[in-house]
Amino acid sequence: MKPWSPLPALAKVILALPITVPGVRILVSGNILSEAGDTIRLMQPDATTRDFDDAVAAFEKLRNDLKRR
């Protein structure tokens, strides 16, 4: 039996969310990038980071980009 993976559910969210919520920004961060980073980057989230400090910086950048619109 294969271990459970969050990747299929994450793929559904990354691909469906922009359709249902136009203008949404998606940040993916954490251990999943160590295991499936290349696959996740193919899904084209707005930002990917591996650690908390980088995630905070990426979040601030995405938020500031939205404010400028």
Instruction: Look at residue 2 and tell me if it is in a domain.
Output: no
Instruction: Look at residue 15 and tell me if it is in a domain.
Output: yes
Residue 60 belongs to domain spanning:
8-67
Looking at the structure of the chain, the number of domains it has is 1
Instruction: Look at residue 17 and tell me if it is in a domain.
Output: yes
CA atoms lying within 13 Å on the CB side of residue 2: 3
pLDDT at residue 50, as a whole number: 93
pLDDT beyond 70 at 1: no
Average pLDDT value for residue range 47-62: 95
Instruction: Look at residue 1 and tell me if it is in a domain.
Output: no
Let me know the angle formed at the C-alpha of 14 by 44 and 55, rounded to the nearest 5 degrees: 70
Instruction: Look at residue 3 and tell me if it is in a domain.
Output: no
Dihedral (C-alpha) 11, 34, 52, 9: value to the nearest 10 degrees? 20
